[in-house]
Every structure is written in structure tokens, then in C-alpha cells.
Amino acid sequence: MTLFEISAGDTAWVLVSAALVLLMTPALAFFYGGMVRAKSVLNMLMMSVTTMGVVGVLWVLVGFSMAFGDSLGGVVGNPLQFLGLSGVMAADAVVGTIPTSVFAGFQAAFAIIAVALISGAVADRMKFSAWVVFAALWALLVYFPAAHWVFAFDGAVSERGGFIANQIQAIDFAGGTAIHINAGAAALALAIVLGPRLGFGRTPMRPHNLTLVMLGAGLLWFGWFGFNAGSALGANTLAGVAWLNTLVAAAAAMLAWLLVERLRDGHATSLGAASGIVAGLVGITPACAAVSPLGAMLIGALAGTGAAFAIGLKRVFGYDDSLDVVGVHLVGGLIGTLAIGFLADPASPTGASGLLHGGGLSLLWAQFLGALAVLAYSLVVTFAIAKVLDTAMGIRVKPMAETAGIDASEHAESGYDLSHVGYSSYSVRQTIVVPTKEETTA
């Protein structure tokens, strides 16, 4: 392709979309930050913000090349091909109708939030230094290869190159497998290795700032239009369909979650509304170009309902996924990915037919294999990374530091300075957990 095939309109839309997706990581920081206790809010914010630095640098060095370089057996891109983004700035380097540099920036924002999502599972108790090292290793060993499987193109960035897209031929328009199932499985593995918070299951650990949670959810919904509609890589019909489906899926999921709460608990909550929005956005991410708006509404309702029940699994199985990354992202991602096999509409831009549209079982089988491949790989490799880090440097703060507050122990700061009104920074609305003998010696 030549420079003359670049569309100014498409380029502008993808640049705006890239900024929207990047905004989602600070939005996630607000969303997660409001859900933890006040003594942990800064640490939660820092985990997302520092991920922008760690993954941003790695993406330029080798990440883009590992994800979008010439495929080495369909497993990973050639890490040396675009080393330091070499060749990306050339005037004739294009992806469809946009410059390759714009595409690289857009995908960088995807890589950043994929890693940041995991942090919600380890709130209150993971060493900050261990998180930084983990984020780097997970991006290199898990996300970049998985992105290649799902999103990758050949060296000219013009054709699909990863084995999930090429051999399995699963549909994942914007990252239901590469991002949400991937991060959700990693969250489960890391939470298991890290162990539960002190007092988990016996002490209430309520969100300290639901206003912050709602702000984060609203900004995530706003940014997600860039996430999904921007993945069309152009201002076109495909982007319009993805935009509409993103809107209606999140709306349906929010209502579904609130209905579950009302029937199960007797009341609908703001936390449920925020969580439902995110669950619907997760569910529609892989499917937004493959289903009709009615199909998107159904996916949203299923994701909202499924995630509302799935967050209780941690109580059943005893793992402490602090902010329900597994319940929302892993389960929501699975629902959206598998739903394509049933609901893919031949009238949609992809032209694929799901089981309910006479397409048979082949697409459903492909969706299952694609989801399983990413889930299993992420679970196993993340568990190994966490175990190695735990042996090498320890990944959990000391019990007394956790009790006093991870903000103080890891950052020497407080999210709220209330000393001027006569309160200690950590005295307001905090539950002091006294470690059991087993927790102290663990």
C-alpha cells in the first residue's frame, strides 16, 4: 500500500479511539480504587498508573513486534522485526487506511489495560515492587503472545497471522479472549498464589467510595466506544454497528444485574449498576461486530446475570479475588465469546452465522477452542510466574503492614488526609483486622 491510500477520517477516528482506550486505564484505577478500603486506595491507583509506564515502554521495545511481527509458527511474532518500532514510522507503512504508527498506538492502549485489569484480584496485599515485576513479565510472556494469536497480522500488517484467528478461525473482534479471558484467568492464578486477605470471609471489606466507583464505570463505558468501535480501524459501517452494540449490551447488563440483586437481596445497588455496566461491556467486546443489536442486548443480559452470580464463586471455592476480576472479566469474556457461536448474524459485518441462524456447530466449536486455549495458557503461565516471583522476592506484604494499610507500608502516603479535622488518616471507616495466629505465621 502507498501513502495515498491513507484516509484522514479513518486516521482521526482511530487516533481518538486510541486516546479513549488509554483513558480506560485511569478509569479502571478509579473503579478499582473506590471498591477497596480507604487504606488501600492509593496502592490501587498506583498499580494501574504504573502499568501504563511499564507496558508502554515494553510495547515500544518488543511488544508490538511480538504481537504483530511475522508469525513464528502462529505462536508469536518475530520480536526483532519491529524492535523499537523500527520501520513503523515510514511514510508507506500503513494498516488498511491508517498509518501503522497509529495502529501501534491504538494497540498499545489495549496492552496496557489488559495487564492493569489483573490488579483488582490482588488488592490490599501484594507488594508494589512485586506487582511492577509481575506486570512486565506477564506482558512479555502472556499478553504479547496471546495478542498475536488473536489480533496478529503478517509482517506487512495486512493479514491475520495468529493461530486462533487463522487455524481455529474464532471470532474475537476487540479482545474478549486476548484481554478479558486472559486477564481473568491470570487474576485467578495470581490470587491463588497470593492467598486471601487477612480476615477474608469473616470481616466485612466494603467499598470505601462508591462515588469513585460510579465515576470509573462511567468513564470505562465512555472509553469502551473507542475500544470496540475503534477496532474497526475506520470511520465506517463496521464502527457504527460496534458502537451501537456496545451501548445496548452495557445497558442490558446493568438492568440484568440490578434485577438479580433486587430478586436475590431485596435491593438494587450502585455497586451492582457499575459492575453490570462493566460485565456487559466485557461480554460484547468479542461479539460487537458479529451480532445484531438484539443479539447484543441478549449477550449483555446474559453477561450481567452470569457475572452477578459468578462473583459468589470465590466464597464457594475459597480464593480471594478481591474486586471480582474472575467473576466479571473471565466469566463475562467466556459468555461473550461463546455467545458468538449461537448468535452470530449473517447480516452483521462479519457475515458469520451462529447456531441460531443456521450456521451449525462449527463456529461454536471454534469459539470454545479459542477461549480454552487462552484460558489454559494464561492460567498455567501466570501461576508459574507468580510462584517464581514469590520464591525470588516474596510477593505479599507482611501481615502487620496489611493490617495498618498498604498505602502506608508501600507508598508512605494516605489517600485522605483528615488530620485537620482531628482524625488519623486511617481512622475513618476502617475495620482493623487482627491477624490470626495462622495468618501471622503464614
3-state SS string for 94-133: EECCEEHHHHHHHHHHHHHHHHHHHHHHHCCCECHHHHHH
Residues contacting 302, CB < 8 A, separation 6+ = 256, 283, 335, 339
Q: Could you tell me the pLDDT band of residue 201, with boundaries at 50, 70 and 90?
A: confident
Residue predicted with more confidence, 70 or 427: 70
What are phi and psi for residue 10, nearest 5 degrees? -65, -40
Q: How far is CA 183 from CA 191, 215, 270, 381, 415, in A?
A: 12, 22, 25, 12, 27
Name the burial class of residue 160, with classes exposed (0-12), middle (13-18) and buried (19+) by CB atoms within 10 angstroms of its CB: middle
Q: What whole-number distance in Å separates Cα of residue 223 and Cα of residue 297?
A: 19
Each residue's pLDDT tens digit, 148-193? 999 866 433 434 468 998 889 999 999 999 999 999 999 999 999 9
Each residue's pLDDT tens digit, 68-111? 998 888 899 999 999 999 999 988 899 989 999 999 999 999 99
